[in-house]
Amino acid sequence: MADPVSQTEDQDWAAVCASAELGDEEMLTARVGEWQILMVRSGDGLSAFNDCCPHQSARLSTGRLRRGAIMCPLHGARFDIGSGRCVGAGYAPLLRMPIRERNGIIEVAPPPRSPAPDEIPKDA
């Protein structure tokens, strides 16, 4: 996995689930405020993204996780689960969010703003 996005103590961390709820090579979603968050665990790596494809705002969590990438359910674009970068197509990268585990709890820190219209999954 790529380097995690920067983390600081003064970010607005939100506890979203127990660590045990997100298994290896699994995806899990949570809602924090207006943000729909997609969390992915792979080996020692943990990533959090906005659960919205940058192409046409499909909900990525309804896609598949395979070979280190999330595949969009609508047009099949693939996004690296470490960096969020689009693999094999020219779409923008996924919006990554800081994520950490503390005392058996997963916490995320979504941006301190509301999502833009194109950052909200179409079926939300």
Residues that bind ligand FES (CB under 6 A): 53, 55-56, 58, 72, 74-75, 77
Q: How far is the CB of 105 from ligand FES (least distance, A)?
A: 31
Pick between residue 98 and residue 115 the one whose CB is nearest to ligand FES: 115
Q: How far is the CB of 3 from ligand FES (least distance, A)?
A: 25
Q: How far is the CB of 84 from ligand FES (least distance, A)?
A: 13
Q: Which residues pair with 50 in a beta bridge?
A: 37
CA distance linking residue 18 with residue 1, whole number of Å: 22
Pick between residue 60 and residue 108 the one whose CB is nearest to ligand FES: 60
CA distance linking residue 94 with residue 55, whole number of Å: 10
CA distance linking residue 29 with residue 101, whole number of Å: 15
Of 72, 52, 63, the closest CA to residue 116 belongs to 52
